[in-house]
Amino acid sequence: MTNIPSDLKYAKSHEWVRVNGQTGVVGITDHAQHELTDVVFVELPAVGRQVKAGEACAVVESVKTASDIYSPVSGQIVEVNKAVVDNPALVNTEPYGGGWFYKIQLSNLAELNTLLSPEKYKAQIGDLI
Amino acid sequence: MAKPIVEMEIEKVTMELPDTKTIRLKWPEGYNPDFKTGQFITVYWPDTPSYKRAYSLSSCALDRGFFETTVKRDGKMGTRIVDWAKPGDKMFVIPPTGRFLPVYEPNKHLICIAGGSGVTPFRAFVREATKRKLETKITILYSVRTTNDIIFNDEFHQLQLQNSQFNFFVTCTRLHPQDPWTGRRGRITAEWVKEHIHDLSNTVFYACGPNELVEFAEHLVLAEMKVPKEQIKTEKWG
């Protein structure tokens, strides 16, 4: 069964954000990695880049397909996960842990209210609560 | 036992569209694999062995001496193949596998729902059926953005002339209203699919393409038409 942690906010496009103060950590969901199958390549944004919510800012490629990753929130990229670039399989094995993509300094905390709760994300992917 | 990984030389490349290329991978001397039409291979370049991509075969099991796969410029691998792959290049190939297989029975009708480069395994389906002069009826319902995105357009029309059991239909989703295209426009709909069903119990549905299209087909066939799941086979991109 798909893992949907209760402490995260979710985008309809299957990214998650874990917020701590003004900083968010972003990755893709367990459901997304499962749909992608084996991830073989991850391209992350440059540190310092300003991104807007909904903007394509990373690429994840699996054996089957390549997908853009859309930032769930606006802000400045402050750190990227070099480990996931070196070992893209972390996206599959630890989507909410070692498979995170980047940390972002949030510029608009109100955007968090537009993201999906775990329950709503669960409903979106058709996984009954 | 795992099938051995084989190094193959690109024998020929064909630009099908500005962003889509077919590569023909020549089998090495003595290589004669047992595989089925509709399966996929996994490929990688010698300089990046941990970076692999899987692609459906667009050639069929009767095409011997080579594998053909048709690749869109998508991601790092798709870009490298479309922009840089040339005859003489070497790639490693993990032999064909997969269960997206045509049911070639005389009374069956295969309705193949495709989106974008998801049409490539169906070229293999029709090639084999045509070469073997099979009675199996095959209908491709193909969704593309514009008329410039139809992969194998000429070949499918040629195959229609050679094989009276094969029909090829295209719908364009993003054509300019003034475009002279006289064919169908808009997404693949339940009504359009149903128009092509003559004997539901002998129809096998196939869907290959973006997740959204494949999920639409699954919902239509399984939830709406209540067809047993054995009568649908799907291949999602991710």
Where in chain B do CATH 3.40.50.80 domains reside?
A: 109-236
Asked if the C-beta of A114 comes within 8 angstroms of chain B's C-beta atoms, the answer is: no
In a domain, A29, yes or no: yes
Residue A126 pLDDT level (bands cut at 50, 70, 90): confident
In a domain, A57, yes or no: yes
User: What is the C-alpha to C-alpha distance for residues B53 and B49, in angstroms, rounded to an integer?
Assistant: 11
Can you give the pLDDT at residue A129?
42
User: What is the C-alpha to C-alpha distance for residues B163 and B133, in angstroms, rounded to an integer?
Assistant: 7
Give, as one character, the DSSP assignment of residue A7: T
Residues of A in contact with B78 (CB under 8 A): 66
pTM score, whole prediction: 0.89
Closest listed residue to residue B14, CA positions, set B145, B116, B154, B113: B154
Give, as one character, the DSSP assignment of residue A63: S
Nearest 5°: phi and psi at B228?
Answer: -60, 145
Where in chain B do CATH 2.40.30.10 domains reside?
A: 6-97
In a domain, A61, yes or no: yes
Handedness of CA B196, B197, B202, B207 (dihedral sign): positive
In a domain, A129, yes or no: no
B75 and A66 within 8 Å at the Cβ level: the answer is yes
Q: Give the ranges where A11-89 is alpha helix by DSSP (H).
A: 30-36, 82-86
Asked if the C-beta of A56 comes within 8 angstroms of chain B's C-beta atoms, the answer is: no
For chain A, what is the mean pLDDT? Answer: 95
pLDDT digits (tens, 9 = 90+) for A76-102: 999 999 999 999 999 999 999 999 999
Closest listed residue to residue A85, CA positions, set B154, B9, B50, B79: B50
Asked if the C-beta of A59 comes within 8 angstroms of chain B's C-beta atoms, the answer is: yes
In a domain, A128, yes or no: no
Can you give the pLDDT at residue B236?
86
In a domain, A127, yes or no: no
B236 and A66 within 8 Å at the Cβ level: the answer is no
User: What is the C-alpha to C-alpha distance for residues B221 and B204, in angstroms, rounded to an integer?
Assistant: 10
Which residue's structure tokens are 């010698």? Answer: B46
Q: Which CATH class is domain B109-236?
A: alpha beta
Report the CATH number that the domain containing residue A20 is assigned in CATH: 2.40.50.100
User: What is the C-alpha to C-alpha distance for residues A98 and A90, in angstroms, rounded to an integer?
Assistant: 6
For the stretch B35-74, what's the b/e string if a residue is b when 16 or more beta carbons lie within 10 angstroms of its beta carbon?
bbbbbbbbbbbeeeeebbbbbbbbbbbebeebbbbbbbbb
User: What is the C-alpha to C-alpha distance for residues B40 and A95, in angstroms, rounded to an integer?
Assistant: 27
In a domain, A3, yes or no: no
Can you give the pLDDT at residue B1?
56
Residue A128 pLDDT level (bands cut at 50, 70, 90): very low
Residues of B in contact with A59 (CB under 8 A): 75
Residues of A in contact with B77 (CB under 8 A): 61
Percentage of chain A beyond pLDDT 70 is 98
Judge whether B221 and B231 are in contact, CB under 8 Å: yes
User: What is the C-alpha to C-alpha distance for residues A72 and A84, in angstroms, rounded to an integer?
Assistant: 19
Range of the domain at A84: 9-108
Domain count, chain A: 1
User: What is the C-alpha to C-alpha distance for residues B42 and B56, in angstroms, rounded to an integer?
Assistant: 9
Q: Which CATH architecture has domain B6-97?
A: Beta Barrel (2.40)
A65 and B74 within 8 Å at the Cβ level: the answer is yes
Q: Best interface-test mutation with A: which of B52, B219, B237 has the largest number of A CBs within 10 A?
A: B237
Query: Over its length of 238 residues, how does chain B's per-residue pLDDT go in tens digits?
Result: 567 899 999 999 999 999 999 999 999 999 999 999 999 999 999 999 989 999 999 999 999 999 999 999 999 999 999 999 999 999 999 999 999 999 999 999 999 999 999 999 999 999 999 999 999 999 999 999 999 999 999 999 999 999 999 999 999 999 999 999 999 999 999 999 999 999 999 999 999 999 899 999 999 999 999 999 999 999 987 5
Can you give the pLDDT at residue B2?
66
pLDDT digits (tens, 9 = 90+) for A4-35: 999 999 999 999 999 999 999 999 999 999 99
Residues of B in contact with A13 (CB under 8 A): none
